[in-house]
A and B are shown apart, each in its own frame.
Chain A
Amino acid sequence: MAPYVGYIYVVSAALFILSLKWMNSPATARRGVFAGETGMLLAIVGTFLAFDVHNWTWIAAAFFIGTAIGIPIAYIMPMTAVPQRTALSHACGALAAALVGTAEFYQRQPQAATELRGFVMVALIVETLLGFLTFTGSLMAMGKLQEVLPQRPLTYRNQNAVNFSLFAIALGLAVRLVIVPTDTLLFPIFVGLALIFGVLLIIPIGGADMPTVIAILNSYAGLSACAMGFVLDNKLLIIAGALDGSSGLILSIIMCRAMNRSFTNVLFGAFGQIQVKAGAKEQRAVRSASPEDAASILEAASSVIIVPGYGLAVAQAQHKIRELFDTLTRRGIDVKFGIHPVAGRMPGHMNVLLAEADIPYDRLFEMDDINSEFPQCDVALVIGANDVTNPAARDDKTSPIYGMPILDVDKAHTVMVIKRSMSPGFAGIDNELYYMEKTLMLFGDAKVFVGEIVKELPARAAA
């Protein structure tokens, strides 16, 4: 190992920190990406130059295949599939860390007495445990997001008891491996348990909780890379892993806060199960309206706030919404977007979709900034969002979502909700909003319906 590699790694670490710092605003974000790329390139080239690297064919082949897979993923993936891609990349990152840990474990066996003792072995166990459970967990999350697996929580009796005992056994094996690091037969069992635990941890979690889950898995994948840094005594890995770990942690805290729930509740609460009885309520009357009605109401408005939700992503309606936005803006109507932190399936999901459709980001507002504007707003147009607009979260102490911060859509003068049918949202909770006097239900596919509204609005303003 050449000593200069240390200097390269320091520069690389600094670039990673700058990269994240520049993400604080869209104006500097591209510079941030560039800094991250440069840091990565320096680290890889530095590693190749400074260390005595053999087996070039293996390494070159892996780089080639990885690049060949990575480029199409980056360019072909539609923006609506970004949550799935993110889950997949957490799985890949975690798998890599776990496999490197496994390889280290066996490679170091001949020198186990010196190279696998004490804290190094603890770090290796953390690396493989987090790595393997994040790998299968992320694959499960991806399956749910891609709707290959049911989005509903899969639960069975004594689920938490089973999960906890499994985890306890895995921890027991981990302790035993730290004490006796030469137990090469125990290691595969430990790996198997970690893999199973990852599956069991994620299947009881429902689709609407995915923003939190993805953020937690993000954090785990980072911590796993960080633990690898301790095994290899590589400070760059420790820093990059810690940055990823803290990023995932912050995002999951933000997501939990936006749902007024705790980590443990998200992970072990199996939300959406208990409320089955709510669906059996009597039918209540709602007012529905046609695209023509909706268009004439929008035409008469002077301010409109659009509240998007996961339904927008499902219907891929972002480009039609942009047309609506343009048409209304041309008529001098003030159009804003109110975005709930957990709208969609991952943090910031809605913002990316709307930005993809070229809606300027200074029209996208966070919940806390927009809520004071609803009482003065003529029309609130809810597209594919449900629980985040439910006034029960504010008023009804018996509601399962009571206490969750919501967008105060119900305070607008007129509320219009585009929705496929009256079926309750993910949490299975009836939404009071739909039965209000001033609410108009617009039944249909979000993309089609918005398209029809746009058609109804004459292209040019009269004035």
Chain B
Amino acid sequence: MTTDLIVGLYVFMLATFVGLEVIRKVSPLLHTPLMSLTNAISAISVVGAILITGAAHATMLSKVLGFIAITAVVTNIVSGFLITDRMVKMFKKREGQK
């Protein structure tokens, strides 16, 4: 086992615990936007897709698969963040009266 792997596992373990603690505090009101937000965040796999498509010696297969992957994941980033914002904007308190 390499140290890289061990470090990776530590990061995974800690991030999971942070995630569990943070998500548990999210108001049930916002569970739908939460899901679209986490989905947009996990579209960070765009980094992997860019690297495989943009590799200096990328094969045609890599380019094609990478191209589809980037398209899919950029769709998620764009629509995910925008729709989350559209949703959370709608949550308003009672204005003025009473």
Contacts and interface: CB of A to CB of B under 8 A. Distances in A.
Contacts of B67: 58-59, 61-62
A69 B75 contact: yes
Contacts of B70: 59, 62-63, 66, 96
A52 B23 contact: no
B93 A89 contact: no
A29 B30 contact: yes
A25 interface: yes
Interface of B: 1, 4-5, 7-8, 11-12, 15-16, 18-20, 22-56, 58-59, 61-63, 65-95, 98
B41 A251 contact: no
Contact of B76 (A24, A70, A245): A70
Contacts of A32: 37, 88
Nearest to B19: A246
Contact of A70 (B23, B42, B53, B78): B78
A103 interface: yes
A362 interface: yes
Contacts of B83: 73-74, 77, 82, 85
Interface in A149-196: none
B27 A218 contact: no
Given A36-B84, A54-B54, A245-B19, 20 more contacts: A24-B27, A29-B91, A33-B88, A36-B41, A40-B41, A51-B51, A62-B53, A71-B78, A74-B78, A89-B79, A93-B76, A95-B69, A99-B66, A230-B5, A239-B15, A246-B15, A250-B24, A346-B32, A358-B92, A361-B29
Contacts of B44: 12, 16, 40, 43, 225, 236-237, 240-241
B92 to A, nearest CB: 6
Given A245-B19, A347-B35, A96 B92 contact: no
24 contacts: A20-B23, A26-B88, A33-B37, A33-B81, A36-B40, A65-B74, A67-B74, A70-B82, A71-B79, A71-B82, A89-B76, A93-B76, A96-B43, A99-B69, A228-B45, A232-B48, A235-B11, A236-B47, A243-B22, A246-B20, A251-B31, A351-B28, A351-B91, A361-B91
B64 to A, nearest CB: 8
Contact of A348 (B15, B18, B34): B34
Contacts of B92: 26, 355, 358, 360-361
Contacts of A242: 11-12, 15-16, 19
A246 B79 CA distance: 22
Contacts of B54: 51-56, 58-59
Contact of B32 (A24, A70, A246, A348): A348
Interface of A: 12, 16-17, 19-21, 23-26, 29-30, 32-33, 36-37, 39-40, 43-44, 47-48, 51-56, 58-59, 61-63, 65-67, 69-71, 73-75, 77, 79, 82, 85-86, 89-90, 92-93, 95-97, 99-100, 102-104, 106-107, 118-119, 214-215, 218, 221-222, 224-226, 228-251, 254, 329, 339, 341, 346-349, 351-352, 355-356, 358, 360-364, 366
A20 B30 contact: no
B86 A74 contact: yes
Contact of A30 (B36, B74, B89, B94): B89
B32 A82 contact: yes
Contacts of A96: 43, 45-46, 49, 68-70, 72-73, 76
A103 B62 contact: yes
Q: A-B pairs with the 6 shortest C-beta distances?
A: A66-B74, A70-B78, A348-B31, A246-B19, A74-B82, A62-B70
Nearest to A51: B51
B91 A70 contact: no
Contacts of B46: 43-44, 96
A408 B78 CA distance: 41
A241 B41 CA distance: 8
A352 B33 contact: yes
Contacts of B55: 54-55, 107
Contacts of B78: 66-67, 69-71, 74
A369 to B, nearest CB: 10
Contacts of A341: 28
Contacts of A231: 48
Contacts of A20: 19, 22-23, 26, 34, 37-38, 41
A29 B15 contact: no
Contact of B30 (A39, A248, A348): A348
Contact of A239 (B1, B5, B11, B53): B11
Contacts of A74: 78-80, 82-83, 86
Contacts of A37: 81
A243 B74 contact: no
B34 A93 contact: no
Nearest to A230: B8
B51 A47 contact: yes
